[in-house]
Amino acid sequence: MAIPGVAIRGQRSLLRQIREALAGGGPAQARLDMVVRIIARSMVAEVCSLYMRRAAGEMELFATEGLDPAAVHVTRMKQGEGLVGEIMKLGRPLNLADAPEHPAFSYRPETGEDPYHAFLGVPLLRGGRAIGVLVVQNRTARVYTDDEVEDLQIVAMVLAEMVAGGELLVGGDLKGVEIAPHRPERLKGAKFGDGLAYGVAVLHERPVAPSQLLSDDVPAEETRLSTAIATLQAQIDQMLEGNAGLVDTSFEVLDTYRMFAHDRGWNRSLVDAVRNGLTAEAAVERVRSEHRARLGQARDPYLRERLHDLEDLNDRLLRHLSGEGHTARELPENAILIARNLGPADLLEYDRTKLRGLLLEEGSAASHAAIVARALDIPCVGRLLGLRDRVSEGDAVIVDAESGEAYLRPRPDVVKSIQARIEVRAQRQAEFAKLRDTPAFTRDGAKITLLMNAGLDVDLDIMGETGAEGIGLFRTEFQFMVAEEMPRFNAQTALYGRVMDAAGGLPVTFRTLDLGGDKVLPYMEAEREDNPALGWRAIRMGLDRPALLRLQLRALVAAANGRELRIMFPLVATVDEFRAARALVDIEVAWAERRGRKAPSRLAVGAMIEAPSLIWHLDALLPLTDFVSIGTNDLMQYMFAADRGNPRMADRYDPLCPPALRALEAIQRACAETGTPVSVCGEMAGRPLEAFALVALGFDRLSMPPAGIGPVKQMVLSCDREAARRGVSALLKGGAGSVRHEIETLARKISLAV
């Protein structure tokens, strides 16, 4: 067949020819041979060879024009061997005037490649992984132009997508090529939400389908791309203008976006790719894969961060191209969602009834996605490095959020064991459900009130199922965190009203906005701080910006509409702060009354004890409060000077140690002496062993994530409080560090279900 020797520039027809050759009938090998011939002619190269990665990790010559055909499927290179191995390793092109001079060059006599000097090889990238290498060679030493490199990369991308799309490698020799990882893998990450799940991978960010790779109308595609880029740039500029004068982290992020969005190199690569016949979406993917391959290996955290920015930018651009946000996706039963990270509302867009688990490449336990996953009781593991490049849509996956691991394409024995564990969990859940209406009394008759922590509408649905006796902590800032813009008075009032309705007369304690620190809102002004956890956050912000806090208090009073209202303030560090905050509540109640609105039937105002300073000023604080609640997450962070969000600190200090337990005991005693109701609402209250220690210290109100209520209740029912008290108080005296082990032994001794 005569193939016109077109120059590679403006090579839409080349891509078409490749596609036709690949899509045509006949044996796969013949089609591949045709493809390399077409490329060689178009690029005026004497050699064009395609190497693919075998499952064992070796690179194998799959087709060649110009080298000895007898070497096809014979020449193989180990990982990292030769120039081809080098390209695989680096994930980027190698453009050499004189290949044999290169230190990695490995001579293969069977190929007959002796006379060729000029060498250009590019990886076939899928996601950030190289699945093959495409090489052109010329006799005469020369460096290929940037345009030629770009063109070969585009060809390689189309080939990669087609190979991966199954259009090519079916049967025979071509089996066993590693297009996508297929071996079982186990990735270690971090626990974001408890539980176990086994299901089918659904990719949140789906690669462009091979059928959408090539455009039919280049000028129209170019217009589509430039419109999308212009919209994206305008949107980012606007976001920046809206925040003019800000010097904070979100500003920096936006500013970096802006730099990238206007980056001529990025824009040009996209336009070039479209001019060469790709669709705008495919162009985005092509440029993205290259960045991933290049920056993904970077050790420098700064560069890796930049990759994240670029990823975000690419996602945004794809959204602009699709002209809309996500449309609701049809999920398989047992879907496990795989994503780099999720925005606040993303998870809620999926069908809850089919979503079994969530795996994230990044994120932190305090991230929005993790918070929502916990609220929905979806097992979630995060910080799984390399996740997205290792899993394909439809792969079987296990989320083990008990150990913080993910199993990709697990072996049957692993599946069996996980299914057995899922079964055991389900049985335990069923037992907890049976206890739903049983009041939580210890064996020696002490009543323990078990409350639930909440923060989103979705939490309300499960309130009834848990048997919680109320909401001990409603984190009002969640509504702000999942919103695109500041929730107004009506939206706030509506949510608080719904929460009280859902509680159906059971008490709800609203915690006023706990923003700042790591909870920065994109639409809210915040200054960059060196130590955000110690900075301008929570009640400090509320008191300095009383308009915001008063609006919230007004919404709370309006929502109560004559019902009981319980409000508490986060991170109070001095008695004066509490006094000032409480005064604002009084002002708002008076304001409502002046307008003839109903004042709360009963008003209870409390402080969260999260700053250690208060422990030594309880005598002054408690008479001013109606109740207090201990936020152990923050209290421990400040007591041990250990960032609660830093995974390196996560297991360093155990709250089950004498200093922590003594501090808690001191608070409990002071409250008992003054008759001030006290609860514990940090995460530790939801873990049976920790809850056991709290009950032993005399606490009788515990507020926890919904999933904790069943296990904690089971513990309470089997607990002899007096024996626990004696045992734990003995442990408070000595000890060097954690007394977890001792408390465990004690719990076992008094036959406790923990």
* 450 contacts 713 by C-beta, under 8 angstroms: yes
Which 634-693 positions form the footprint of ligand PEP (CB under 6 A)? 634, 681-682
| Residue 719: active-site member | no
Binds ligand PEP by CB under 6 A, chosen from 194, 395, 514, 665: 514
Shortest distance, position 294 Cβ to ligand PEP, whole Å: 39
Backbone torsion region of residue 341, taken as left when φ is above 0, otherwise alpha when ψ lies between -120 and 50, otherwise beta: beta
Binds ligand PEP by CB under 6 A, chosen from 610, 665, 690, 700: 610
Shortest distance, position 513 Cβ to ligand PEP, whole Å: 11
Phi, psi of 38 (to 5 degrees): -60, -45
Please tell me the distance from the alpha carbon of residue 700 to that of residue 449, in angstroms, as a whole number: 6
Choose the contact partner of 682 out of Mg ion, ligand PEP, none; CB within 5 to 8 A by kind: ligand PEP
Number of residues that bind Mg ion (CB under 5 A): 3
Binds ligand PEP by CB under 6 A, chosen from 449, 512, 632, 714: 632
Binds ligand PEP by CB under 6 A, chosen from 631, 686, 688, 708: 631
Which 277-336 positions form the footprint of Mg ion (CB under 5 A)? none
From the list 53-61, 161-169, 630-638, 653-661, the region that binds ligand PEP by CB under 6 A is 630-638
Shortest distance, position 732 Cβ to ligand PEP, whole Å: 21
Binds Mg ion by CB under 5 A, chosen from 631, 698, 705, 710: 631
Q: Which of 506, 402, 430 is nearest to 714 (CA)?
A: 430
633 binds ligand PEP (CB under 6 A): yes
SS3 111: helix
Shortest distance, position 18 Cβ to ligand PEP, whole Å: 55
448, 705, 712, 716 from 439: Cα distances, Å: 8, 18, 12, 10
Please tell me the distance from the alpha carbon of residue 632 to that of residue 702, in angstroms, as a whole number: 11
CA 742 from chain centre, in angstroms, equals 36
| Residue 368: active-site member | yes
The helix-helix angle for 489-503 and 546-560 (nearest 10°) equals: 40
From the list 346-354, 415-423, 441-449, 627-635, the region that binds ligand PEP by CB under 6 A is 627-635
First to last CA, the chain: 76
Nearer to ligand PEP, 82 or 655 (CB): 655
From the list 60-68, 572-580, 629-637, 705-713, the region that binds ligand PEP by CB under 6 A is 629-637
Beta bridge partners of 443: none
Q: Which of 183, 162, 185, 209 is nearest to 54 (CA)?
A: 183
706 binds Mg ion (CB under 5 A): no
From the list 138-146, 529-537, 598-606, 628-636, the region that binds ligand PEP by CB under 6 A is 628-636
Tokens linked to 676:
């001030």
Shortest distance, position 571 Cβ to ligand PEP, whole Å: 8
DSSP class of residue 442 equals -
Nearer to Mg ion, 467 or 631 (CB): 631
Please tell me the distance from the alpha carbon of residue 21 to that of residue 619, in angstroms, as a whole number: 84
634 binds Mg ion (CB under 5 A): yes
Which 474-493 positions form the footprint of ligand PEP (CB under 6 A)? 475
Q: Which of 188, 190, 97 is nearest to 138 (CA)?
A: 97
Choose the contact partner of 243 out of Mg ion, ligand PEP, none; CB within 5 to 8 A by kind: none
Number of residues that bind ligand PEP (CB under 6 A): 10
* Amino acid identity, position 709: I
Nearer to ligand PEP, 17 or 367 (CB): 367
If you write DSSP's letter for every residue of 709-750 in order, what string do you get? HHHHHHHHHT--HHHHHHHHHHHHHS-SS--HHHHHHHHHHT
Catalytic member of 368, 380, 671, 719: 368
Please tell me the distance from the alpha carbon of residue 513 to that of residue 480, in angstroms, as a whole number: 9
Nearer to ligand PEP, 410 or 570 (CB): 570
User: Which residues are near ligand PEP by CB under 6 A?
Assistant: 473, 475, 514, 610, 631-634, 681-682
Residues identified as active-site: 368, 681
Question: For binding to Mg ion (CB under 5 A), which residues are involved?
Answer: 610, 631, 634
